[in-house]
Amino acid sequence: MRLRQGDKVKVITGKDTGVEGRVARVITKKNKVIVEGVNTARKHQRPQGQTMQGGIIDKDMPIDASNVMIVCEDCGPTRIGYRVDDDGIKYRVCVKCGGEL
Protein backbone atom coordinates (compact mmCIF):
# COMPACT_ATOMS: atom_id res chain seq x y z
CA MET A 1 0.00 0.00 0.00
CA ARG A 2 1.35 3.41 -0.97
CA LEU A 3 -0.49 5.50 1.63
CA ARG A 4 1.00 6.17 5.05
CA GLN A 5 -0.25 7.51 8.36
CA GLY A 6 -0.33 11.32 8.34
CA ASP A 7 -0.79 11.72 4.56
CA LYS A 8 -3.27 14.35 3.40
CA VAL A 9 -5.83 12.64 1.14
CA LYS A 10 -8.99 13.54 -0.78
CA VAL A 11 -12.00 11.20 -1.06
CA ILE A 12 -12.87 10.59 -4.72
CA THR A 13 -15.92 8.28 -4.39
CA GLY A 14 -18.65 7.51 -1.87
CA LYS A 15 -20.89 9.60 0.34
CA ASP A 16 -18.02 11.89 1.43
CA THR A 17 -16.79 12.75 -2.08
CA GLY A 18 -14.53 15.81 -2.18
CA VAL A 19 -13.69 15.85 1.54
CA GLU A 20 -10.02 16.20 2.49
CA GLY A 21 -8.47 14.84 5.67
CA ARG A 22 -5.43 13.21 7.24
CA VAL A 23 -4.91 9.45 7.36
CA ALA A 24 -5.25 8.44 11.01
CA ARG A 25 -4.52 4.73 10.54
CA VAL A 26 -3.65 2.31 7.75
CA ILE A 27 -5.02 -1.25 7.73
CA THR A 28 -2.80 -2.99 5.19
CA LYS A 29 -4.29 -6.49 5.43
CA LYS A 30 -7.74 -5.23 4.43
CA ASN A 31 -6.45 -2.45 2.10
CA LYS A 32 -8.35 0.19 4.08
CA VAL A 33 -7.53 3.54 5.68
CA ILE A 34 -9.19 5.56 8.43
CA VAL A 35 -9.39 9.25 7.49
CA GLU A 36 -10.19 11.89 10.11
CA GLY A 37 -13.71 13.28 9.61
CA VAL A 38 -14.66 10.85 6.81
CA ASN A 39 -17.15 7.94 6.93
CA THR A 40 -18.29 8.81 10.45
CA ALA A 41 -20.71 6.47 12.25
CA ARG A 42 -22.59 7.19 15.47
CA LYS A 43 -22.06 4.61 18.19
CA HIS A 44 -24.19 4.32 21.33
CA GLN A 45 -21.76 3.74 24.21
CA ARG A 46 -22.78 2.38 27.61
CA PRO A 47 -21.07 3.77 30.70
CA GLN A 48 -18.16 1.59 31.84
CA GLY A 49 -17.47 1.72 35.58
CA GLN A 50 -17.80 4.73 37.86
CA THR A 51 -15.87 7.38 35.92
CA MET A 52 -16.73 6.58 32.29
CA GLN A 53 -19.72 8.46 30.90
CA GLY A 54 -22.08 6.94 28.35
CA GLY A 55 -23.67 8.60 25.36
CA ILE A 56 -23.49 8.82 21.60
CA ILE A 57 -19.95 8.82 20.17
CA ASP A 58 -18.94 9.72 16.60
CA LYS A 59 -16.46 7.15 15.29
CA ASP A 60 -14.49 7.25 12.01
CA MET A 61 -14.88 3.99 10.12
CA PRO A 62 -12.47 2.49 7.56
CA ILE A 63 -12.72 3.43 3.89
CA ASP A 64 -11.15 1.50 1.02
CA ALA A 65 -7.74 2.82 -0.03
CA SER A 66 -8.81 2.89 -3.69
CA ASN A 67 -11.42 5.55 -2.85
CA VAL A 68 -8.86 8.17 -1.76
CA MET A 69 -6.06 10.04 -3.56
CA ILE A 70 -3.05 11.67 -1.97
CA VAL A 71 -2.93 15.48 -2.23
CA CYS A 72 0.25 17.16 -3.51
CA GLU A 73 0.86 20.69 -2.19
CA ASP A 74 1.57 22.00 -5.70
CA CYS A 75 -0.87 20.25 -8.04
CA GLY A 76 -3.68 18.72 -5.93
CA PRO A 77 -4.91 15.10 -5.96
CA THR A 78 -2.47 12.80 -7.70
CA ARG A 79 -1.15 9.27 -7.93
CA ILE A 80 2.05 8.15 -6.21
CA GLY A 81 5.19 7.13 -8.06
CA TYR A 82 8.63 6.12 -6.83
CA ARG A 83 12.16 7.34 -7.53
CA VAL A 84 15.36 5.67 -6.37
CA ASP A 85 18.35 7.87 -5.40
CA ASP A 86 21.98 7.16 -6.29
CA ASP A 87 22.42 5.94 -2.71
CA GLY A 88 19.59 3.41 -3.16
CA ILE A 89 17.06 5.37 -1.08
CA LYS A 90 13.48 5.08 -2.37
CA TYR A 91 11.29 8.23 -2.43
CA ARG A 92 7.58 8.69 -3.09
CA VAL A 93 6.98 11.30 -5.80
CA CYS A 94 3.99 13.04 -7.37
CA VAL A 95 3.18 11.64 -10.83
CA LYS A 96 1.99 15.03 -12.14
CA CYS A 97 4.82 17.37 -11.12
CA GLY A 98 7.58 14.98 -9.97
CA GLY A 99 7.84 16.61 -6.54
CA GLU A 100 8.61 14.61 -3.44
CA LEU A 101 5.67 13.67 -1.20
- CA dist list (Å): 47 to 22, 44, 50, 55: 30, 10, 8, 8
Read off the pTM.
0.82
Q: Is residue 88 part of a domain?
A: no
Note the pLDDT of residue 53: 83
Q: Is residue 37 part of a domain?
A: yes
Domain count, the chain: 1
φ, ψ of residue 65 to 5 degrees: the values are: -65, -25
Q: Residue 60 is part of which domain span?
A: 8-48+56-73
Q: Is residue 93 part of a domain?
A: no
Q: What is the pLDDT of residues 8-59, one digit of tens each?
A: 999 999 999 999 999 999 999 999 999 999 999 999 988 887 777 888 989 9
Q: Is residue 92 part of a domain?
A: no
Q: What is the pLDDT of residues 54-99, one digit of tens each?
A: 889 899 999 999 999 999 999 999 999 999 999 999 999 999 998 8
